[in-house]
Amino acid sequence: MTQIIVVTSGKGGVGKTTSSAAIATGLALKGHKTVVVDFDIGLRNLDLIMGCERRVVYDFVNVINGEANLNQALIKDKRCPNLFVLPASQTRDKDALTKEGVGKVLSDLSKDFEFIICDSPAGIETGAMMALYFADTAIVTTNPEVSSVRDSDRILGMLQSKSKRAEEGLEPVKEYLLLTRYSPARVTTGEMLSVEDVEEILAIPLIGVIPESQAVLKASNSGVPVIMDQESDAGKAYSDSVARLLGEELPMRFVTEVKKGFLKRIFGS
């Protein structure tokens, strides 16, 4: 059975695209045939983070409009044989996504792939609704700050009322919390909400905590998903999250403050 997973948040800039790329790559590395689909029409950047922007010929909207078939639009990842990217169009506007069109593409992808990761745009407009509509599972990406948590709560409401599963009265979309850009030091100083605060407010199971990390910027600049950098804290945290998504139980790492001296000893800076 194919699992359709939406990476969503409401708020922009919280790490959806970073997480979509990392999780898709992580699933593929574990041997699952995975495609990651960019729903952020007009602002594509998944292909940048996946390092395949120079190989985009056809996109998601071309496939919906019948101007190309899926095989022409899917980009095979260079590093990972099980991984494919369906890029977004930079030139169209977001109304190009129709429920019928998206539904058809996802059902065609379901014939070939075990996991379909949908990288949602920000907001609660058409693009975001299309990305979550067909989902079996939602990874609600949240930063430890009030406005992000509020928007995530809003998206959870949408998942419970506006998704296909909700509309058809099927088993509800599985919801997981992915806390990103977490900085234990700033939690201690009271600048950020703690893991417990966010869990308490959103009341859904936690699938991972990704620390704020230099490695993420480095990774996106070089077009390699951060999960490939297994030396980095963020890379390890994403690996743990993927393992939990596949049912493993692992303790959370990188959630407590590391003493300065210790950090320095590791990174020698």
Partner 1 sequence: MQTPSLELKGSSFTLSVLHINQVDLEKVTIELDSKLSIAPQFFIGAPLVVNLSLIKDPEYNLTALKDLLVSRQLVIVGITAAIDAISAQAKSLGLAIIKSGKQSQTQPQLPKTTKIVKQNVRSGQQIYAKNSDLVIVGTVGNGAEVIADGSIHIYGNLRGKAMAGASGDKHAVIIARSLEAELVSVAGQYWLAENIQLNSTTKSGCIRLEGESLTIEALPL
Residue 92 DSSP SS3 = coil
* 28 vs 136: CA distance, rounded Å: 18
11 known member of a binding site: yes
With CB under 5 to 8 Å by kind, the binding choice for 18 among ligand ADP, Mg ion, partner 1, none is: ligand ADP
With CB under 5 to 8 Å by kind, the binding choice for 74 among partner 1, Mg ion, ligand ADP, none is: none
Told to check if 180 binds Mg ion by CB under 5 A, we report: no
18 known member of a binding site: yes
Q: Write down the least CB distance from residue 107 to ligand ADP, Å.
A: 25
17 known member of a binding site: yes
Q: Write down the least CB distance from residue 16 to Mg ion, Å.
A: 5
Instruction: State the binding string over 130-169 for partner 1 (x if CB under 8 A, else -).
Output: --------------------xx-xx-xxx-xx--------
Told to check if 139 binds ligand ADP by CB under 6 A, we report: no
Query: How many angstroms separate the Cα of 153 from the Cα of each of 27, 136, 160?
Result: 27, 18, 11
* 76 vs 171: CA distance, rounded Å: 33
Which H or E run includes 139? strand 137-142
With CB under 5 to 8 Å by kind, the binding choice for 212 among partner 1, Mg ion, ligand ADP, none is: ligand ADP
With CB under 5 to 8 Å by kind, the binding choice for 153 among ligand ADP, Mg ion, partner 1, none is: partner 1
Told to check if 25 binds ligand ADP by CB under 6 A, we report: no
Binding partner 1 (rule: CB under 8 A), the pick from 201, 243, 255, 258 is 201
**Direct distance between the N- and C-terminal alpha carbons of the chain, in angstroms, rounded to an integer:** 48
Told to check if 81 binds partner 1 by CB under 8 A, we report: no
15 known member of a binding site: yes
Residue 51 DSSP SS3 = coil
Q: What is the dihedral of CA 7, 44, 56, 4, to 10 degrees?
A: 20
**Residue 140 or 173: which CB sits closer to ligand ADP?**
140
Nearest to 170 by CA among 183, 178, 179, 160: 160
Nearest to 52 by CA among 225, 223, 215, 229: 223
> Taking CB under 8 A as the criterion, which residues in 110-129 touch partner 1?
124
Dihedral sign, Cα of residue 210, residue 11, residue 249, residue 203: positive
Told to check if 104 binds partner 1 by CB under 8 A, we report: no
Query: Which residues, in sequence order, are bridge partners of residue 5?
Result: 117, 137
Residue type at 259 in one-letter notation: K
**Residue 57 or 146: which CB sits closer to partner 1?**
146
Nearest to 30 by CA among 254, 251, 247, 267: 247
> Taking CB under 5 A as the criterion, which residues in 16-45 touch Mg ion?
16-17
**Which residues sit at the interface with Mg ion, rule CB under 5 A?**
16-17
For the annotated binding site for ATP, the residues are 11-18
**Which residues sit at the interface with partner 1, rule CB under 8 A?**
124, 150-151, 153-154, 156-158, 160-161, 201, 203
